[in-house]
Chain A
Amino acid sequence: MLAMFKLIASLLVICSAGIAGLRAASAYSLRTRQLRTLQEALQLLDTEIMYGATPLPAALSKVAAAAGEAVGAVFSEAGAILGKSSGFTAGEAWNLAVERNIRRTALTEEDRAILHSFGEALGSSDRADQHKHITLTAFHLRQEEEKAERDRQKNERIWKYGGFLVGIGIVLLLL
């Protein structure tokens, strides 16, 4: 009976630690993917601005639909805030949307800073200038994506297996 109890407890500890490790590992690959999605979303926004001259509320909503759930939520909320004409400028609406939704993504503080900087000039100049601004933001995001990919390669495997190993270590210590 006691042996059965110890076995179940050991399995629970190992699984919990392993799952925690897997989640930490997946955050690395999730961040890489979301940074890529952000760049694609900005490319789409650029097209809407440059070729459609689509006002931001509609442009942001269109981009949100193509950007997936986590990243799309930022664009969607920014578009919704602007669409309500509640007195927010584009920059304010964008920054508010980033603050409200970034926790649900795998993006880091560095990524948040890039997004806030993007919000400053959003909608406040002509098409050529908006294009330059979007291109610059996409460039910074690409740099972060490359860094994130290096981090992922370095750390993902460690976290994937390390969680289980830590769990096994805890079990051995306790037994």
Chain B
Amino acid sequence: MPLDTTASLHSVFVYLPPPLREILEQLPPPLARNLEEIRIRQGRPLAIKTDQRDCFVDQRGQAVDMPSGAYMVTAEDVWKTVQLISQSSLYAFEEEFRQGFLTIPGGHRVGLAGKAVLEAGALKTLRDIGSLCFRIARAVPGAARNILPYLIDRQEGRPYHTLIVSPPRAGKTTVLRDLVRLLSCGVPELKLPGCSLGLVDERGEIAASYGGMPQHDLGPRVDVLDHCPKAVGMLMLLRSMSPQVIATDEIGRKQDVDAVWEMVYTGVSVLVTVHACRFEELEQRPHLRDLVAERVFQRYVFLSRRKGPGTLEGIWDGHKKPVISEVGIRKPDARTEVGCRKPDAG
């Protein structure tokens, strides 16, 4: 079942120590509903970010614009938060601390900043954590409904190889998650039957698996490799789970791109995302430019935050030609949004 706002926030607040929890539980509903980030910095004011506002929070849970009126986070607040997000088991999260973030149940990512500990010149782990950033995950069923029709090859009866291109926090994970769900369930109105998908969820954000069960609704036909490196995971799924579509988030490294090369000529559709804003940026990335030049991807979906997370900037084909310009996406006053802000959108 998809997580609603209350469930989303509750699954974050249980990982905060009582003083912070009590403050944030008093947030006014409009702020709570659109809460995207909680920033906890030792010795500095407690801060939050919504889709429209970047502010501090005072002792009573009210938003304030000036830091002087805000609740000051203590060292104990930070230490206890680290203990809670790691279930008081720092040893069990050595890899996550080395990467600088971990994912808590609910699919929320907690970024960490502190003192780097090096070993033989390489980063071994972080200690003395001084800042945490909770990014709140919300599934938005229907977020990708408007774009799905453009991603299906009617002749072949399967999805195109698709690359979702977006800058950070523009909704690409949310859109990917909903695409996976729609493909898995099928869409009767489009006469699209459900297909089996393999999902490599390297950071545990897409499916938010806990105890082997995805907590986000991904439909009935998805096999999830949780916290598995993408390159290895894609090949494993291909060999073991006979998927019709393989999906993963944020490709960019050489090994990820090599795995995509292996996938695309096996008859499996590939659905991946990448951090970028424009085509030109893709063409400048050393490993991605070959994928673009060889026209491996048949669809490019461009997202931005221009009108809020999930703003659709365009869908292009493998020849860099816009696919949906006839919908008016290029008109200056066009407001084509892939509803990421309201649960009942789409």
Contacts and interface: CB of A to CB of B under 8 A. Distances in A.
B92 A55 contact: yes
Nearest to B21: A87
Interface string A113-146: 0000000001111110110000000000000000
A123 B17 contact: no
A55 B93 CA distance: 9
A56 B88 contact: yes
B87 A89 contact: no
B90 A125 contact: yes
Interface string A72-108: 0000000000100101011101000000000000000
Nearest to A88: B88
Given A87-B80, A89-B80, A123-B83, A82 B91 contact: no
Given A85-B14, A85-B84, A87-B17, A53 B92 contact: yes
Contacts of B91: 49, 53, 123, 125-127, 129-130
A90 B84 contact: no
Contacts of A127: 91, 94
Interface residues of B, number: 17
Contacts of B325: none
Contacts of A57: 87
Contacts of A130: 91
A74 to B, nearest CB: 16
B125 interface: yes
B94 A126 contact: yes
B212 to A, nearest CB: 14
A73 to B, nearest CB: 19
B43 interface: no
A122 B88 CA distance: 8
Interface string B75-107: 000001001101111111010000000000000
A85 B88 contact: no
Contacts, number: 58
Nearest to A54: B92
A55 B84 contact: no
B18 interface: yes
A79 to B, nearest CB: 10
Nearest to B95: A53
A160 to B, nearest CB: 44
27 contacts: A49-B91, A49-B92, A53-B92, A53-B94, A54-B89, A54-B92, A55-B87, A55-B92, A56-B92, A82-B87, A82-B88, A85-B15, A85-B84, A87-B80, A87-B84, A90-B89, A93-B88, A123-B91, A124-B83, A125-B90, A126-B90, A126-B91, A126-B125, A127-B91, A127-B94, A129-B91, A130-B91
Which 9 pairs across A and B sit closest by C-beta, in order of nearness?
A: A90-B88, A123-B88, A55-B89, A55-B87, A127-B91, A53-B92, A89-B83, A56-B89, A85-B14
Given A57-B87, A125-B90, A130-B91, 19 more contacts: A49-B89, A53-B92, A53-B94, A54-B89, A56-B88, A56-B89, A85-B84, A85-B87, A87-B17, A87-B18, A87-B21, A87-B84, A89-B83, A89-B88, A91-B88, A124-B83, A124-B88, A127-B91, A129-B91
